[in-house]
Amino acid sequence: MSDHSEVAYSTADGNDYAEHEATYNFFIGLVKYGTTAVVIVLILMAIFLI
């Protein structure tokens, strides 16, 4: 059996963790502000369309 004590992905060449974290933070911000915008639109629809 081979030795499985080390995770291969974490030591692979070419992993750009800084770019990965920047993309993840952008996605989280987009989801946060997108959800807020949808909630505001729904509230405004409930006020003005009834």
The whole-number pLDDT of residue 11 equals: 62
Q: For residue range 1-46, list pLDDT tens digits in order.
A: 566 666 666 666 677 888 999 999 999 999 999 999 999 999 999 9
The whole-number pLDDT of residue 5 equals: 66
User: Is residue 14 left, alpha or beta, with left meaning phi > 0 and alpha meaning psi from -120 to 50?
Assistant: left
The whole-number pLDDT of residue 50 equals: 82
Instruction: Return the number of other C-beta atoms located less than 10 Å from residue 25's C-beta.
Output: 10
